[in-house]
Amino acid sequence: MLKPSSEPLELFDQESTRATARVEDLREQIEKHNRLYYEHAMPEISDSEFDTLLRELADLEKAHPELANDDSPTRKVGGKPLEEFAPSTHIVPMQSLDNTYSPEELREFVTRVRKLAEGRPIHFTVEPKVDGVAISLLYEKGRLMRAATRGDGVTGDDVTQNVLTISNIPHKLHGQIPAEVEVRGEVYLPKAVFAQLNTERDEDGLPPFANPRNAAAGSIKQLDPSITASRRLSAVFYGIGAWTGEQPATGREMLAALQKWGLPISERILEGSDEDSVNAAVQQMDALRHDFAYETDGAVVKLDSLTLRREFGSTAKAPRWAIAYKYEPERAETKLLDITIQVGRTGTLTPVAELEPIFVSGSTVSRATLHNAEEIHRKDIRIGDTVLVEKAGEVIPAIVEVRKGLRNGSELIFEMPKQCPSCGSFVSKDGVSWKCTNPSCGAQVRRRIEHFASKQAMNVEGLGEALVSQLVDAGLLKSIADIYTLQREALLHLERMGERSASNLLAAIEESRSCSLWRLLNGLGIPHIGITSARDLANRFHTIDALSTTTVETLLSIHSIGEIMAMAIHAWFQKPENLALLESLRAAKLNFGEADTPTEATSNRLEGTIWVLTGTLSQSREEVAETIRLLGGKVTGSVSKKTTHLLAGEDAGSKLDKARELGISILDETAFRQLCG
């Protein structure tokens, strides 16, 4: 008698083993990318690549139910809260959305919802999918009490102090408002601000942000609210969590209520009632979205009836009544005509791709940054290549692919110039960058003066890019110090410069002489030094003279200063040309710190203390925070176990409650002044 073959069982075992291994591998990859995306705002792969991994895992779990479990990334939302921020539990959990790139799957979604409705009339809204950071705001009696990130969907990070710096988020709602309401939306970095921010980072030799979403995520999670404020974030709102009292009947009515209260909503919301009209609205949104102030990566389709939303409910991860349709990144093919060089204020040479003009993502593109020579070499980009161009974050054009199969042999390999294209001086390699060695280079001088006069530094109103170029070309400005030698008569000879403009400029220059030390330190353009580190240096050393003679070891004792920064600061003060600049500025009677150091600062009265500010204070929070810093203390945005003191003004909210729970010392303004002496 023949024995039955064991081959089918062996094949089944092999397939099961392969599936188990692949599921484990996928979960490990997805968890890693979730951490990078949600917790560090530094994704290594695109959204579409991540979605492909997640879809493969979901398909394997469906084919092998024995491998599915509640800890799978297919059933979880976002990332864990960060330790640096106090945890905040959402009253109603924040879920993510199922998504698709396929019109056919979108039709299937509409069909599924129609079946759930069992013949009842249904209607859908189609909204832009804002690519920002999900946020939940809790308003009690109309007053903003708490702001939290999505986190893991149940608990997020308390970022109230940072959200209070966002100009279009109201601290108090107006009109008829529920006693308690959770409002859901996205914090985003406007595309124009993102472009400017990356330009500044290029000038500083810092790596550019990959996209506005990363920049927004990094900004909202800053420990120093002043940094968040400097990033000029905005927000848009689209939904609710908890809501006490009678709720609207539809999503459209809910959005109208948000708008009446003073909350910004999407400027375009389209509609559909069946498979065809919903698909048409999604495609229409694709054509409209390039004109929005924020980056979008898709459209969100929602059932309009709030009653049916509650009835249909959710899966473990996402609602059954909504889906996100993701647009494929828009790319265009064009010719790389040349690679030119831009010279920044620190002398960094940045290669720029000169392209045959092409229309992509709503505008004509003719240039794209290439960042550095290593980037060009890594992608093997050659002059004359046919390339694919994509707007990074729909803002900054980038070459994402070279069509090497279309090469004909005439393409030229790019080499960085041995001499500066602006002044002809020799260039030297500094890490991944090449730099002009001539500090008097015209291009560098222009960029340095523009930075020195900017709002983030000495705030010389009127001394912008166009006027700086005129002054440098006319030989009136050869260094930063020359700003303080400008004469009215010379200014009046410039194009479009009248008596009033000259007077205003000279008045602004005069006012800048008394700027705080941190502004001067930021304006000097010391490598790697920005607003926060400039403040920390000013608070620690109080004068430029003290800073200029300090050691690397002392610099490293400052929490915001790392080894590279410490060495750069120390090296800057060793260069004769920089010391000569400081002497020129001293002769021009600029404040080197003596004018803004209070006598109490030398006592380090608040050294070792960590403060949180809440409620309405008699001074601006920045003024109070500056006092704390000058007395040796630190200021953070949220209450945690590390907090030592809470300064509570009128209408103090949830932070006061948390401070009481943790046994933190709570002071009013009178007690604070007494403590400060």
Residues 22-62: tens digit of each pLDDT: 777 777 777 777 666 555 555 556 666 676 777 788 778 77
> 20, 67 in Cβ contact below 8 A?
yes
Higher pLDDT, 484 or 328: 484
Return the structure tokens found at 575.
């260069």
**CB contact set of 426 (below 8 Å; sequence gap of 6+):** 418, 419, 420, 437
The pLDDT of residue 391 is 72
pLDDT higher for 562 or 620? 562
Is 129 tagged catalytic?
A: yes
Question: For residue 378, how many other CB atoms are within 10 A of its CB?
Answer: 9
Alpha helix segments (H runs only) across 268-389? 275-288, 306-312, 373-379
Residue 209 is classified by DSSP as P
What's the burial of 161, exposed, middle or buried (CB within 10 Å: 0-12/13-18/19+)? buried
Write out the CATH class of domain 331-435: mainly beta
Q: What is the pLDDT of residues 190-224, one digit of tens each?
A: 887 887 777 766 655 566 676 778 788 888 877 76
Note the pLDDT of residue 104: 94
pLDDT, tens digit, 9 for 90 and up, residues 506-549: 999 999 999 999 999 999 988 878 776 788 899 889 999 999 99
Helix (H, G, I), strand (E, B) or coil at 600: helix
* Residue 553 φ/ψ, nearest 5 degrees: -60, -40
- Strands 143-149, 133-140: parallel, antiparallel or unpaired by DSSP? antiparallel
Longest dimension (CA), the chain: 115
Identify the residue with better confidence: 260 or 630: 260
Phi, psi of 392 (to 5 degrees): -70, 115
CB 618 within 8 A of CB 612: no
Residue 370 half-sphere exposure toward CB, CA atoms < 13 A:
33
Range picked from 186-190, 298-302, 317-321, 565-569 for highest mean pLDDT: 298-302
Least confident piece of the model among 270-279, 338-347, 437-446, 551-560: 551-560
Q: Which two tokens stand for residue 75?
A: 């059933």
**Type and span of the H or E element at 552:** helix 552-556
Q: Is the pLDDT of residue 91 over 50?
A: yes
Selection from 266, 297, 270, 328 nearest residue 395 by Cα: 297
Number of CB atoms found within 10 A of residue 73's CB: 19
Residue 5 has pLDDT above 60, yes or no: no
pLDDT of residue 581: 94
Query: How sure is the predictor about 392, in pLDDT bands with cuts at 50, 70 and 90?
Result: low
Ranges of each domain in the chain: 7-75, 87-326, 331-435, 442-596, 599-676
**pLDDT cut 90: percent of the chain above it:** 40
Interval 443-466 mean pLDDT:
90
Name the fold adopted by 87-326: D-amino Acid Aminotransferase; Chain A, domain 1 (3.30.470)
Give the three-class secondary structure for 84: coil
Order the strands of the 234-243 sheet from edge to edge.
143-149, 133-140, 180-188, 234-243
pLDDT bracket for residue 3 (50, 70, 90): very low
Contact 147, 158 (CB under 8 A): yes
Mean pLDDT computed over 442-454: 91
Strand order, beta sheet including 99-100: 99-100, 322-326, 296-303, 124-130, 270-272
pLDDT digits (tens, 9 = 90+) for 159-193: 888 888 888 899 999 888 999 999 999 999 888 78
Q: Do domains 7-75 and 331-435 have the same CATH topology?
A: no
**pLDDT score of 599:** 40
DSSP state, residue 649: -
Percent of the chain with pLDDT over 70: 87
Residues making up the chain, counted from first to last: 677
pLDDT of residue 206: 60
Write down the pLDDT at residue 129: 93
Q: What is the mean pLDDT of the chain?
A: 84
DSSP letter assigned to residue 631: T
The amino acid at residue 565 is: M
**Average pLDDT value for residue range 568-587:** 93
489 burial (CB, 10 Å; 0-12 / 13-18 / 19+) is exposed
Q: 3, 80, 115, 129: which is the annotated catalytic residue?
A: 129
pLDDT at 71 over 80: no
Q: For 86-100, 235-249, 565-579, 590-604, which range has the lowest pLDDT when averaged over its residues?
A: 590-604
- CATH number for 599-676 (one of 3.40.50.10190, 3.40.50.1820, 3.40.50.300, 3.90.1150.10): it is 3.40.50.10190
What does residue 299 show for φ and ψ, rounded to 5 degrees?
A: -130, 145
Checking 661-664 for CB contacts under 8 A at 24+ apart, the result is: 664/639
pLDDT of 9 above 80: no
SS3 content of the chain, % helix, strand, coil (to 5): 40, 20, 35
Give the Cα separation of 133 and 11 in Å (integer).
46
Topology, domain 7-75: Helix Hairpins (1.10.287)
CATH class held by domain 442-596: mainly alpha
* DSSP-assigned beta bridge partners for residue 136: 148, 184
Q: Say yes or no to pLDDT of 360 above 50.
A: yes
Range of weakest confidence among 68-72, 429-433, 647-651: 68-72
